[in-house]
Amino acid sequence: MPDLTPPPRPVALRLSKITKRFGPVLANDAISLEVAEGEVLALLGENGAGKTTLMNILFGHYTADEGSIEVLGAPLPPGQPRAALERGIGMVHQHFTLAENLTVLDNLLLGTRSLWQARQHRSAARHRIETLADEYGLAVNPDARIADLSVGERQRVEILKALYREARVLILDEPTAVLTPQEADALFATLRKAVAHGLAVIFISHKLHEVMAIADRVVVLRHGRVAGEVATTGTDATRLAAMMVGAEVSTPMLAPATEGAIAMRFDRVVTEGFRPDLSGVTLDLVGGRITGLAGVSGNGQAALAALISGLARPISGEVIVAGRTVADWSPALAVGHGIGRIPEDRHHTGTIGDFSLAENAVIERIRDPRFSRAGWIDWRAARSHAEKLIASYDIRCPGPDARIRLLSGGNMQKLILGRVLEENPAIILANQPVRGLDIGAVRFVQEQLLKARQRGAAILLISEDLEEIMALSDVIHVISEGRLSPGFARGSMQPAELGLWMAGQGFDHAA
Amino acid sequence: MRLEPIAAPGPARRILPPLVALGATVLLAGVLALIAGADPLAVLGLIVKGALGSKFALLETLNRATPLIFTGLAVAVAFRARLWNIGAEAQLYAGALMTVLLGTGALPWPSAILIPVLALAAMLAGALMLMGPAFLKLRFGVDEVVTTLLLNFVMLLLVSMLLEGPLKDPMGMGWPKSPALLKEARLPRIVDGLRLHWGFALALIAAVGIWILDRKTVAGFEMRAVGAGEAAAGFAGIRVPRVVMLTAALSGGLAALAGFSEVAGLKGNLTSDLSPGYGYTGIVVAMLAALNPLGVVLAALFVAAIFVGADSMSRAAGVPTYIADILLAFALLAMVLALTMTRYRLRRA
Amino acid sequence: MNEIVDILISASFWIAMVRIASPLIFATLGELLCERAGVLNLGIEGIMVAGAFAGWFAAYSGMDLWSAVAVAFATGMVFGALHALLTVLFGLSQHVVGIGITLLATSSSYFAYRLALPEVTSPPKIEAFQTWPVPGLSQIPLIGPALFDQTPLTYLAYLLAILLAVILVRTPLGLAIRAVGENPAAVEAQGLSVTGLRSGAVIVGSGLMAVGGAFLTLSAFNSFFFGMVNGRGWICIALVVFGAWKPGKAVAGAFLFAAFDALQIRLQQTPLGAHLPYQIFLMLPYLLSILALILTSRRASVPAALMQPFRKGER
């Protein structure tokens, strides 16, 4: 009987025993994998598993300590993005590598012609872009400035950049983190077209359902090593999750909590100076309740977070805390009103990298009589406060005097969490609290938030991760272009329905 | 190539790079001596002898260090808060002007009152000189580097103008200078008979004061926080604009004290060449000290020694005095590099 | 008021304006190139001094004037290379390194001058560039002599301004330079070298600054003296901001500033001028620069990555 199985597709990319160390940390440990032409390979793993490091090595941002890479059969010289580009590797970075003040055309042209040439040949490039855009379903205006484009549009430009350079292997790093469910579907359509053209696609993600939806095969990374490799037809989300963390995963159970009074109220609040601004947002934060704010980044979360944090004031509407309208507002006043703030960016806003743990632990409360009197700081008290936090929140660090820059993301976040929760705040703003953390830290942070909820705190949880919002919130609002949807009780909405609200539909019908 | 942060630098890594920087500076001194046609070792020896080799030399070094401690502190305080005060020269002259305006007869008060008043008035003048550019930065986003620099030139012209006009010494001949300060306005000598005035002691006290401010007070903490992480400081509730203005006031005031000290302690009057660039040299001092207030004292002594030594050496060996400026500029760059190398290593990406 | 009008209609005023603007054009374009690539070069003042000295010394030693200009350019490039090494490769503070380079370049020049001429009371003169009227163009009334009866270095400044504008906007190299000042990650992701582009911009820009300095000794005056540059470098930094980082506007700013400077010099000779101390007039250019900065410090046009060192792989 003749063998009717189709011949295996040619290997587009082969990584052999890639190893990379950063100081004492072993980011990639002898990783080997292959991708065939026309195949979608998902690289799955939690934060810190080594996925992005591996792809950065592939693209030449880093050089591997050991191991080799072959692209379309030929060895790839390490450490040079130019070589990777020439061999046909195209990367769509998680943080877009686009120059905002330049146009789409400029960004695509950049680096494609020799620097010693005098002419750019813009019209030829323009024509080629338009052709590619049509072929792959990526509508763009070549003359638009990147700064004026939405996040979804910018991602299309990133993909076009790779296609323009005739990529044969397309790598996408967490591409749906910033997309609505509908935009994600459009992306998958583009990827299917790419695969039909014979490209190999590597899709990095930590979202199980996406991986199951789009990938042919999955390679699971855990702690820098390949933990498993399966075809998606032969597995399911639960088994993938188990491979990802090496144990059974369970979502936290939300015990019923007694809800208390309205701790903070936003009444038809309008802001200015943000992109976009809040336009007449009304929201109640109730004690003992986690209010989840779902939405793609850049839809007004920044304005709302700034408002709660004290960094912004409304130009119309009222902010009412514990029943009293707030007249004057500032971060210091917010802290004084008992608002605990976990900011989105722990490196930039949450901590001062060169300061010690002790200094970071007391910075919000430096004028508190516990830590200073008549302008003189009691460093012993500050240090012992930090030591208490280190013990209670299991912060791995050299000690309270160590510079906080040396800590891992998870431990830094624990310090921020600790300094906030120790003050028993009535209101908590948790802005992307688990972004970029490994699974252990994610669990920890989520548990602490749930404990605070039990104690009666009113919590606003802002997260890009719809699954997280749905798992942890009592009430879910969707924010889109500065408008707030009505609140949806836990369990009453499907992700797709929320996705529609996230994409802006539903607001026109609502009163 | 990339720079990789080192988690816990050992003692060797923290000491070696600055030592190498200093060593390279010494080497450069030898090379420059050779270029000038002199014997390198002799030149180095003459510099050291000229700075420290006699009681006179030592006192001269301490005197020269006094304004440098003040301007070094001024720059360190400002740079630490990422306020790029390149205008210490103008602030110095503002302090000197104020000293002369009030101290040549306008306030007929006894020493115990007059001297503190003059010092405070000088500090106020210097503070205002820097608070202006700081305000422009906060309100209009105008880079303070250029504004403070340009004000240096404006101030020098202002001083020159006043010395040829309203502040002219009626009894002076030719060279424009101000009238002499009242006896009561003069800073006394620390020890009778030695040419060292109280300005030096004041400078040391200022250094210790700034150190205490830094480590122990809320104000110092906030200034450091704004410099080390402005966004995080603001988020934590620190009033950043107020802290910036306070930093400007303190920095300008310290630089002005250099002017006060030179006029009331050393010279007794004001001429347009009061400062041979102490404001700019203060930058070198501050960076050599890694912006540490106590380190500023050591760095100022070092820098003063180089200048005094080079002056003396130049008279003896004929090597142009600019050798000192070259060495210090080189030391500045080398030290900045060395300080980074104590916390980072160079790695292939 | 009459006096001002009198000055403005005199041909010598406009000629002086262009002559004063020429060194500023070179240095401003040099700084603009550095800043478009994302590097603030505070060494400009010192590099101008070094260029002034190097150019003068080359001419004094017998070289022809154009070779002297080349020597000045090379000197600027050397200091630029040092700046790039410290700020681009090692990522040190651009403020501190710039001031250090200014101090180093200035003191090295003065040291070398003292070595070359140990005991001189008046600086020795050299044979500077002579004016060369452009046939035809220099006959145009009023602006003809001003623009086209200048020294060849001034004509070079014009060409340079046009060349830089064209390169920045129309060539792949110019695109890469603009991009590296906006988002170095974007440049690296397209396979170009951030270090190479920034270093190149700083080195060439510094060379231009030095030529600006050399203009003072080889074209405007004909000798070198201490305090020659006198803050022009800092004014050029203000001019870059004033020109919103665009070559055309920066050159316009240089002309405007030079006009005020030329005006101020002539006003000193008038009866009005006799009443006021000359220092007031000399202060005006600096005060004007500060005013220009206040009026134009709009953050929108700043190259987004200006002054941020690019740590490769830091994501």
Q: Would you say residue A7 has pLDDT above 80?
A: no
- Nearest-CA distance from C79 to chain A in Å? 24
Predicted pLDDT of residue C136 = 80
Predicted pLDDT of residue B62 = 94
Grade residue A413 by pLDDT with cuts at 50, 70 and 90: very high
Report the pLDDT averaged over residues B198-215. Answer: 96
Report the pLDDT averaged over residues C74-81. Answer: 98
pLDDT tens digits for A88-100?
999 998 888 999 9
Predicted pLDDT of residue A251 = 57
Domains A11-245 and A262-353+424-502 share a fold: yes
Q: Would you say residue A177 has pLDDT above 90?
A: no
Q: Would you say residue A441 has pLDDT above 80?
A: yes
Grade residue C298 by pLDDT with cuts at 50, 70 and 90: low
Residue B103 · residue B185 · CB < 8 Å = yes
Q: Would you say residue A200 has pLDDT above 60?
A: yes
Closest residue by Cα to residue A212 from A187, A239, A191, A190: A239
Which of A22, A24, A349 shows the shortest C-beta gap to B235? A349
| Least confident segment among A169-178, A319-328, C148-157, C266-275 | C266-275
Domain residue limits, chain B? 6-167+175-347
Report the pLDDT averaged over residues C207-224. Answer: 93
- The tokens describing C239, both together, are 């001019």
Q: Would you say residue B1 has pLDDT above 70?
A: no
User: What is the interface pTM, i.e. ipTM, of the complex?
Assistant: 0.91
CA dist., res. B284 & res. A281, Å (int): 54
Judging by beta carbons within 10 Å of its beta carbon (0-12, 13-18, 19+), is residue A75 exposed, middle or buried?
exposed
Model pTM score: 0.89
Helix orientation angle between B88-103 and B55-80, rounded to the nearest 10 degrees: 110
Q: What percent of chain B has pLDDT over 70?
A: 99
CATH topology of domain C2-115+135-301: ABC transporter involved in vitamin B12 uptake, BtuC (1.10.3470)
In this complex, the chains that touch C, judged by 3 or more CB pairs closer than 8 A, are A, B
pLDDT tens digits for A111-132?
998 888 888 889 999 999 999 9
- Nearest-CA distance from B292 to chain A in Å? 15
CB atoms within 10 A of CB C185: 23
Grade residue B169 by pLDDT with cuts at 50, 70 and 90: confident
Q: Would you say residue C314 has pLDDT above 50?
A: no
CA dist., res. B262 & res. B276, Å (int): 12
The reply to whether C315 touches chain B by the CB within 8 Å rule is: no
Bridge partner list, A293: A462, A477
Report the pLDDT averaged over residues B69-87. Answer: 96
Contact yes or no for C171 and A120 at CB 8 A? yes
| Planar angle of CA C18, C76, C293, nearest 5 degrees | 50
Mean pLDDT of chain A: 88
Predicted pLDDT of residue A119 = 87
Q: Averaging pLDDT over each range in A18-32, A170-184, C242-256, which range is the top one?
A: C242-256
Q: Would you say residue B217 has pLDDT above 90?
A: yes
| Least confident segment among A180-184, A327-331, A467-471, B185-189 | A180-184
Chain mean position to CA C309: 24
C205 or B53, which is more confident? C205
- Nearest-CA distance from C209 to chain B in Å? 17
Mean pLDDT of chain B: 92
Which of B4, B219, B237 shows the shortest C-beta gap to A332? B237
For residue C111, the chain B residues in CB contact (below 8 A) are: 32, 320, 322-323, 325-326
pLDDT tens digits for A364-380?
999 999 999 999 999 99
Q: Would you say residue C273 has pLDDT above 60?
A: yes
pLDDT tens digits for B325-348?
999 999 999 999 999 999 888 876
Mean pLDDT of chain C: 89
For residue A352, the chain B residues in CB contact (below 8 A) are: 225, 228-229, 232-233
pLDDT tens digits for B286-329?
999 999 999 999 999 999 999 999 999 988 888 999 999 999 99
Contact yes or no for A111 and C192 at CB 8 A? yes
The reply to whether C172 touches chain A by the CB within 8 Å rule is: yes
- Nearest-CA distance from B268 to chain C in Å? 25
Closest residue by Cα to residue C207 from C302, C83, C97: C83
- The tokens describing A8, both together, are 């295996």
Predicted pLDDT of residue B171 = 79
Predicted pLDDT of residue C313 = 41
Grade residue C294 by pLDDT with cuts at 50, 70 and 90: confident
- Nearest-CA distance from A408 to chain C in Å? 14
Domain residue limits, chain C? 2-115+135-301
Report the pLDDT averaged over residues A307-312. Answer: 93
Which of B35, B153, B284 shows the shortest C-beta gap to C286? B153
Domain residue limits, chain A? 11-245, 262-353+424-502
Predicted pLDDT of residue C315 = 30
Q: Would you say residue B10 has pLDDT above 90?
A: no
Contact yes or no for B161 and C279 at CB 8 A? yes
Interface test with A, best of B1, B4, B217, B221 (most A CBs within 10 A): B221
CA dist., res. C281 & res. A481, Å (int): 55
Report the pLDDT averaged over residues C230-245. Answer: 91
Residues 6 or more apart whose Cβ sits within 8 Å of residue A304: A266, A278, A281, A283, A293, A460, A462, A479
Residues 6 or more apart whose Cβ sits within 8 Å of residue A416: A342, A343, A346, A350, A351
Predicted pLDDT of residue B198 = 92
Tell me the CATH number of domain A262-353+424-502, given options 3.40.50.300, 3.40.50.800, 3.40.50.12280, 3.40.1350.10: 3.40.50.300
Predicted pLDDT of residue B349 = 54
Grade residue A511 by pLDDT with cuts at 50, 70 and 90: very low
CA dist., res. B226 & res. B241, Å (int): 9
The reply to whether C298 touches chain A by the CB within 8 Å rule is: no
CATH topology of domain B6-167+175-347: ABC transporter involved in vitamin B12 uptake, BtuC (1.10.3470)
Q: What percent of chain A has pLDDT over 70?
A: 96
Q: Which residue of C has its CA nearest to A83?
A: C191
CA dist., res. C125 & res. B45, Å (int): 37
Q: Would you say residue B254 has pLDDT above 60?
A: yes
For residue A101, the chain C residues in CB contact (below 8 A) are: 182, 303-304
Report the pLDDT averaged over residues A428-447. Answer: 89
- The CATH class for the domain spanning A11-245 reads alpha beta
Contact yes or no for C170 and A120 at CB 8 A? yes
